[in-house]
């Protein structure tokens, strides 16, 4: 199985977009997305220095544009990607890249959202002097406890022995003077405590904006930063992406889900390298490919061919049919039925948001919800069956489409 991943802020380097302008169609797309983002993406991606592209309001649109452009260069016909890619995920702002890549939102919507995300997060970061520090090594529980002892937030739990602490510069200074045992600290060149409560004003603004965004259910499994769950509702996906601005990124759990899915190949879109590096340490046996320049496109397509998953019809996450799927958020055992013990059988009429069962794992229990409501057409699993992340569980004919 193949998973496509998109990096987050900090992966960009000066001039990284320059070689991509030689790929047919990329310059035209970047010109159009520059208009949508109200930002000269070509200039920032080819001529600007490191300080200029470190600006949150610049870095985020640049990253999303680069990732989508490269994905379209690999898959000129997106429908082909939906047949071959088993799952997609993005780290932090990379979630918008992944949302566009899975067909949940358009590239234009992604660029408009990332424009406002970057601006609102930069504004929120300007209120108080905040920053972030990477913690490498140490015992995870001890590291998290020490971070919280100093009033900080473990904002990125990246797996492979890496956790990022975020908070005020005063809190970080005290933390650096009193580090966790057997851990190394590295200050990050960011101007804000991203994925913490300091970003709450940005969440409020983005919640207002996303109410009007047209979304579809993703065409492939989408792995969420919040908890590593596979999300199949486009509206829930967007809500999670917005909430994630002020909440920790659990990339460690995303990689656990990839392991549960049986991923064999991980391809990272530009500016690639960060997530493949984490995967090499956390997912032994999984082949990785960091797509950095267009001269790697042929090799990338060969990599995709080796790991591509041809979806079986019953497991297709197509958004075209008149019915909708409820899927498993993670590996576990399915429990069919309502919380009061009543069963939900084919022909049953469900209210919008009705609870129809649960998936239970060793770590947690997640209630299954029929987001659209409607009529149960069929269960695709039996009560007590083991299920995999993103596995379709029940088909429902919806009462109304989500808006």
Tell me if residue 150 is catalytic: no
Non-local CB neighbours of 125 within 8 Å, separated by 6+ positions: 56, 191, 192, 193, 194, 198, 199
Half-sphere exposure of 43 (CA within 13 A, CB side): 7
Handedness of CA 394, 318, 60, 165 (dihedral sign): positive
Q: Which of 34, 92, 224, 233 is catalytic?
A: 92
- C-beta atoms surrounding 59 within 10 Å: 23
DSSP string of 70-134, one letter each residue: HHHHH-SSHHHHHHH--EEEESTTHHHHHHHHTTSS-HHHHHHHHHHHHHHHHHHHTTS-EEEEE
Whether residue 233 lies in the annotated active site = no
For residue 194, say if its preceding peptide bond is cis, omega within 30 degrees of 0.
Answer: no
- Contact in structure between 214 and 105 (CB atoms under 8 Å): yes
- CA–CA gap between residue 355 and residue 53 (Å, rounded): 45
Place of tokens 């959202």: 113
Residue matched to tokens 């995870």 = 140
Q: What torsion do the CA atoms of 101, 318, 227, 96 make, to the nearest 10 degrees?
A: 20
Separation of alpha carbons 337 and 340, rounded Å: 8
Q: Which of 91, 195, 307, 372 is catalytic?
A: 195
Beta bridge partners of 265: 2, 287
Backbone angles phi, psi at 94, to 5 degrees: -60, -15
List residues with catalytic annotation: 92, 195
């Amino acid at each position: 199985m193949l998973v496509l991943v998109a990096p987050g802020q900090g992966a960009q380097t000066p001039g990284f977009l320059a070689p991509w302008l030689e790929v047919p169609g990329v310059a035209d797309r970047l010109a159009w997305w520059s208009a949508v983002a109200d930002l000269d993406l070509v200039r920032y991606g080819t001529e600007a220095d490191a300080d200029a592209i470190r600006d949150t309001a610049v870095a985020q649109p640049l990253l999303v544009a680069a990732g989508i452009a490269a994905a379209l260069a690999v898959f000129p016909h997106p429908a082909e990607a939906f047949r071959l890619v088993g799952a997609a995920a993005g780290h932090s702002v990379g979630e918008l890249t992944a949302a566009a890549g899975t067909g949940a939102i358009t590239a234009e919507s992604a660029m408009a959202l990332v424009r406002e995300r970057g601006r609102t997060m930069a504004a929120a970061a300007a209120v108080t002097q905040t920053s972030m520090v990477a913690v490498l090594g140490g015992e995870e529980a001890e590291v998290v406890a020490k971070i919280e002892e100093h009033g900080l937030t473990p904002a990125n739990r990246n797996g492979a022995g890496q956790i990022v602490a975020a908070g005020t510069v005063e809190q970080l200074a005290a933390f650096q003077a009193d580090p966790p045992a057997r851990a190394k600290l590295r200050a990050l060149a960011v101007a804000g405590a991203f994925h913490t409560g300091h970003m709450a004003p940005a969440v409020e603004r983005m919640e207002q904006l996303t109410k009007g965004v047209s979304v579809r259910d993703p065409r492939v499994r989408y792995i969420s930063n919040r908890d590593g769950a596979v999300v199949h509702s486009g509206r829930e996906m967007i809500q999670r992406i917005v909430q994630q601005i002020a909440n920790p990124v659990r990339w460690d759990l995303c990689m656990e889900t990839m392991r549960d899915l049986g991923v064999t190949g991980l391809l990272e879109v530009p500016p690639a390298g960060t997530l493949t590096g984490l995967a090499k340490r956390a997912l032994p046996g999984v082949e990785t490919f960091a797509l950095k320049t267009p001269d790697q496109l042929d090799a990338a397509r060969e990599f995709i061919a080796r790991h591509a998953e041809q979806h079986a019809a019953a497991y297709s996450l197509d958004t075209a049919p008149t019915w909708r799927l409820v899927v498993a958020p993670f590996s576990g055992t399915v429990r069919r039925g309502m919380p009061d013990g009543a069963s939900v059988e084919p022909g049953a009429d469900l209210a919008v948001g009705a609870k129809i069962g649960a998936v239970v794992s060793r770590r947690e229990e997640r209630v299954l919800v029929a987001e659209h409501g409607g009529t149960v057409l069929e269960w695709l699993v039996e009560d007590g069956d083991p299920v995999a992340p993103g596995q379709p569980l029940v088909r429902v004919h919806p009462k109304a489409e989500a808006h």
